[in-house]
Structure 1
Amino acid sequence: MFIIGALVNGLAIVVGTLMGKLAHRIPEKVSVTVMQVMGLSVITLGLQMGFKSHQFLIVILSLAIGAVIGEFIDLDEKLNLLGNMIERKFQSQQNEKQAFSISQGFVTGTLIFVIGAMAIVGALDSGIRGDHSVLFTKAVMDGFISLLLTTTLGIGVIFSAVPVFLYEGIISLFATQINAVVPQDLMNSIIAEVTGVGGVLILAIGINLLEIIKIKVANLLPSILIAVVIVVVQHTYFL
């Protein structure tokens, strides 16, 4: 099933939330170590995907052009502004009520789990290649993060599983339809180069998790579309 990755991701959030509801306090050293393990695992996954590119020059060009477009649009800043606006609103409400409502946990969890390169790359990988490894990895991460969020935001985090499943499932469904209109040889090239670009983005997420440097991964998301365009142009005019 092409949506199994999205389904597992949603279920992981549900399980993580329920576990977080039962957990009173998680030692900081435990959460730090687990996040470091996740960072290393994501880096390894990114490297594996990156090496699947058949023409790494396309990956480099896509990332360079995509980064320029992403910085011009400044997707990362726009997402941060939205997150900060919601966070300020929640903080003001928390001071008055001394508690987080269900809606607060839902919105915050949704922002964290839906926004990001892994959701897009993983869903495309599920739909096009039937490979759910990226979404399975994301499910493990989201399950642990939802556990931590629930200890502070409450049970509302569990409802973020619904938009995560719908978002990733719709992208996977859309990706499966591509095969019906695109020649197989072109599709193979698109898969290889999109996987390569996606691998670099996932590698960047792993670096961010390890807090080595801060990479604006959201600003690199246009690279995926640029890779498709380059491959299509190359296939149409140069082959």
Structure 2
Amino acid sequence: MIPKGILIDCACIFLGGNLGAALKQAVPKKILDPMNVIFGLSAIAIGILSLIKLSFLPAVILALILGGLIGELLDLETLVKNLFHRLITRFRFSIQGDREAYLQFYLIVAVTFCASGANIFGAITEGMSGDMTVLLSKAVMDIFAATIFGATLGRAMNLILPLQLAILCAFFYGGQFLMPLVTQEMLNDFMAAGGLLTIVLGLNIAKIKQTSAVNLLPALVIVWPASWLFSLFF
């Protein structure tokens, strides 16, 4: 089975990101800042919609706490940031302005496209049933978001695409094997955990509150067994 929804979403991000990079000098900052706020608020709205689908709130909270602790102890943000910095340097993409601020925003954009709840849920759904409605809906927003983000990050944004394709395809093909093992409650709680992560990303994009989204990524793994354990007792 070909992951058509994933390929369409990646293509939209590729087109939007490179269009934004090409228009980088033509887009004034007074437009970029409000648009980032709008996309941040949109991410928060998507996260809230995902969050209300949860089945076991204690499982989601436990996953978030344990995931955050693991992420902080491993300092995942620094590890991923250093990785992207090496890649950007290796491929000779230029970083304009404050390097730390650039890399911080780069990380937020990378997690938004690679590990948001909507993207992963869409990949799993398409893998299980062939329904790519979620990914097509996400692609419509992503092409505009990528254009705005590309105007800030430049063509270095293209380095995110192989990682996004690999992660979403893993969930797409893994979804076919997970189907007999995953209950609807586990899927709901995964969506809720992804929704919380998406809310954190939205707060970062809109510059309302800066919190490490990368360090919360382990929660997306922990929520599966946590939800299963709670389903045994409730």
| TM over 0.5, shorter chain | yes
CA–CA distance in structure 2, aligned partners of residues 18 and 117 of structure 1: 17
Q: 2:208 aligns with which of 207, 212, 226?
A: 212
Aligned residue identity for 2:189: E
The verdict on how the C-alpha distance between 1:117 and 1:233 changes in structure 2, with shifts beyond 3 A counting, is farther
2:50 touches 2:195 (CA, 8 Å); kept in 1? yes
Larger Rg: 1
CA–CA distance in structure 2, aligned partners of residues 114 and 205 of structure 1: 8
CA–CA distance in structure 1, aligned partners of residues 65 and 159 of structure 2: 37
Gapped runs of 5+ residues in structure 2?
Answer: 96-102, 127-133
The verdict on how the C-alpha distance between 1:119 and 1:212 changes in structure 2, with shifts beyond 3 A counting, is same
Report the counterpart of residue 146 of structure 1 in structure 2.
150
Structure 1 residue 50 displacement after superposition: 0.7
Report the counterpart of residue 167 of structure 1 in structure 2.
167
Q: Deviations over 1:82-141 (max 9, x none)?
A: 334455x479x68xxxx79xxxxxxx9xx7598415523344302333432456544442
The verdict on how the C-alpha distance between 1:72 and 1:213 changes in structure 2, with shifts beyond 3 A counting, is same
TM-score normalised by structure 2 residue count: 0.76
Report the counterpart of residue 78 of structure 2 in structure 1.
77
1:76 touches 1:216 (CA, 8 Å); kept in 2? yes
Counterpart secondary structure, 2:183:
helix
Structure 1 residue 2 displacement after superposition: 7.8
The verdict on how the C-alpha distance between 1:159 and 1:222 changes in structure 2, with shifts beyond 3 A counting, is closer
Q: Deviations over 1:20-70 (max 9, x none)?
A: 465351111111111111011001000110111022121111111111111
* 1:23-172 alignment runs, 5 A limit: 23=23, 24-86=25-87, 89=89, 115-116=110-111, 118-120=113-115, 121-130=117-126, 131-132=134-135, 133-134=137-138, 137-150=141-154, 153=155, 161-172=161-172
The verdict on how the C-alpha distance between 1:21 and 1:208 changes in structure 2, with shifts beyond 3 A counting, is closer
Identity level (%): 19
Report the counterpart of residue 129 of structure 2 in structure 1.
none
| Aligned positions, number | 215
CA–CA distance in structure 2, aligned partners of residues 139 and 19 of structure 1: 10
Structure 1 residue 17 displacement after superposition: 4.4
The verdict on how the C-alpha distance between 1:20 and 1:83 changes in structure 2, with shifts beyond 3 A counting, is same
The verdict on how the C-alpha distance between 1:113 and 1:61 changes in structure 2, with shifts beyond 3 A counting, is closer
The verdict on how the C-alpha distance between 1:84 and 1:127 changes in structure 2, with shifts beyond 3 A counting, is closer
Report the counterpart of residue 220 of structure 2 in structure 1.
224
CA–CA distance in structure 2, aligned partners of residues 163 and 44 of structure 1: 25
CA–CA distance in structure 1, aligned partners of residues 214 and 22 of structure 2: 33
Aligned residue identity for 2:173: L
CA–CA distance in structure 2, aligned partners of residues 124 and 4 of structure 1: 14
Cα RMSD for the two superposed structures: 3.2
CA–CA distance in structure 2, aligned partners of residues 68 and 157 of structure 1: 29
Aligned residue identity for 1:49: S
The verdict on how the C-alpha distance between 1:11 and 1:149 changes in structure 2, with shifts beyond 3 A counting, is same
Aligned residue identity for 1:199: G
